[in-house]
Amino acid sequence: MVSIIVPVYNAQQYLENCVQSILAQTYRDFQLILVNDGSTDESGNLCDGFAARDSRVTVIHQKNAGVSAARNAGLAVASGEYVGFVDADDTIVPEMLEQTVGAACQHKVDMVIFDPYVCEGSKTSVDSLHFFPESTVVYKKEITPERLRYMAGAVWRALYSREVLRRNNLKFDSTLPLSEDRIFNIEAMGCCEKLYYLRQPLYRYWINPGSAVRKYRPDMLDVVLNTHHRMEQTLRTYWGETYLPIYERVNLVDDALLCVYNVFSPQITLSFKEKYAQVKQIVNNPQFWKAYEKLQKRTLLQNLFYQKRVLLLCAIAWLWNKKHKMVG
C-alpha cells in the first residue's frame, strides 16, 4: 500500500482536481491523507466530504503550522509501505502510483524519482534530469555533487520507502520556510543505498503566483542565510565536505537574486529609495559576494550582482515581478 500525503491550506479552488486525480489512480491500494493546516476557507469541509465518500481518505485537522508540520502530521499516521507527497494545487497522472510502485518493487530500491510536467498558463514542458538519458537504477556512489543539486528538488516528484524514513527518523524541518523539500531529499537520498530514476512525466506541477517562493518576506535575507547554514549541516552529515562547494557556488548565488526580487514584490509598500537601500544591503552581503567571486563563469545578471550594479538590479527585479504578474 502507498500513503499519499496532501498538505491543504486555503486550497478550495484547486482541491477537487487534486483529489480526483489521486482517487482516479489505476493503482487502487493507497491511503490518501489530507492534512487541513488551519484553512480559513472551505478546504476543511471539502476534505471531510472526500473522506465521507471514500474510505481510503483520512483527514487531519490542525492549527496552521506550515507545510512542513502538515507533512509531518501525515507521516505520523501513514501506514503504507511507500509514501508520496502531492501539493493541493497540483495533480498527478492516472498511472503515477502504478508506475512508481512497479519500479520500486521491480528494482528493489528505496526511492523512485520521476519527471513532472511544468504547467504555466497555456504552456507545458517536461522537467527531466538531463544527465540520465533513460530510466535507470542509481547507486548512491553515482550521485555526484552536481547531480545531487538537481535530484534533491521537490518531494512531490518522488516515492519513498516508509521504512527508510522511519528507521532514520526523517522529518521535515518546520523551522524552515524555504528549501524544506530540498533538505528532506538530501537526507532521504543520503540514507538510500540505491534509487530509481523513472524518466517519465507523472506529475502536473502548476506554477502558482501565490506560492511561498513568490510571496514577499521582510526577513528574506535572514531566511536565506539561515537556510544555507542548515543546508551545509545536512550535507556534512549525509554526504561529506566535498558536496558543499556546489551549493555555495550555485544555490547561494540564486538565492541572492531571490532576495533582490523579493524587495520588489507587490506586497511591499516602501519607497524606491528604501527598496534601493535594501538591494544595496543584499549586494554588499559578504557571504553572497564570496559565492559570486568563486563563480568561474557568470551570466550577465550574475555579473551585475558581482559588480554591485544596484540600480540595474532594481530595474531587472521590477521587470521580473511584472513578467510573472507580481506587480501591476
- Alpha-carbon radius of gyration of the chain: 20
pLDDT of res. 327: 44
Statement: residue 325 has pLDDT above 60 = no
Higher pLDDT, 267 or 175: 175
Q: How far is CA 52 from CA 1, 58, 204, in A?
A: 21, 9, 26
pLDDT digits (tens, 9 = 90+) for 230-247: 999 999 999 999 999 888
Rounded to 5 degrees, what angle do the CA atoms 27, 30, 36 make?
Answer: 130
pLDDT of res. 320: 82
Distance between CA 70 and CA 12 in Å, rounded? 17
Q: Which domains does the chain have, with CATH numbers?
A: 2-206 (3.90.550.10), 213-323 (no CATH)
Distance between CA 320 and CA 302 in Å, rounded? 15
pLDDT of res. 207: 85
Local confidence band at 209 (pLDDT 50, 70, 90 cut-offs): low
Name residues whose C-beta falls within 8 Å of residue 295's C-beta, 6 or more positions apart in sequence: 249, 253, 302, 306
pLDDT digits (tens, 9 = 90+) for 195-207: 999 999 999 999 8
Name residues whose C-beta falls within 8 Å of residue 230's C-beta, 6 or more positions apart in sequence: 173, 176, 183
Pairing of strands 136-139, 82-85: unpaired
C-alpha closest to that of 202 among 139, 150, 159: 159
Higher pLDDT, 304 or 99: 99
Higher pLDDT, 325 or 106: 106
> Which phi and psi (to 5°) does residue 49 adopt?
-65, -40
Statement: residue 214 has pLDDT above 70 = no
Percent helix, strand, coil in the chain, to 5, is 50, 20, 30
Q: Which of 15-29, 49-63, 119-133 has the lowest mean pLDDT?
A: 119-133
Amino acid at 5: I
Q: What cell was used for 291?
A: 559565492
Q: What percent of the chain has pLDDT over 90?
A: 78
CB atoms within 10 A of CB 307: 13
Statement: residue 176 has pLDDT above 80 = yes
Q: Mean pLDDT over residues 60-87, rounded?
A: 98
C-alpha closest to that of 75 among 163, 178, 189: 163
Element (H, E) at 253: helix 252-263
Distance between CA 44 and CA 10 in Å, rounded? 9
Q: Which of 57-61, 110-114, 157-161, 295-299 has the lowest mean pLDDT?
A: 295-299
Higher pLDDT, 254 or 36: 36
pLDDT of res. 199: 98
Statement: residue 215 has pLDDT above 70 = no
Higher pLDDT, 45 or 325: 45
Helices (H) and strands (E) in the chain, counts: 14, 10
Q: What is the DSSP letter of 324?
A: T
pLDDT of res. 216: 77
pLDDT digits (tens, 9 = 90+) for 266-324: 878 889 999 999 999 999 999 898 888 888 788 888 889 989 999 999 999 998 887 76
CB atoms within 10 A of CB 272: 10
Statement: residue 328 has pLDDT above 50 = no
Distance between CA 187 and CA 129 in Å, rounded? 19
Task: Using CA atoms of 215, 115, 94, 112 in order, give the dihedral in degrees to the nearest 10.
Answer: -110
Average pLDDT, the chain: 93
Decide: helix, strand or coil at residue 33. strand
C-alpha closest to that of 35 among 76, 82, 1: 76
> Which phi and psi (to 5°) does residue 127 adopt?
-100, 100
Contact between 223 and 178 under an 8 Å Cβ cutoff? The reply is: yes
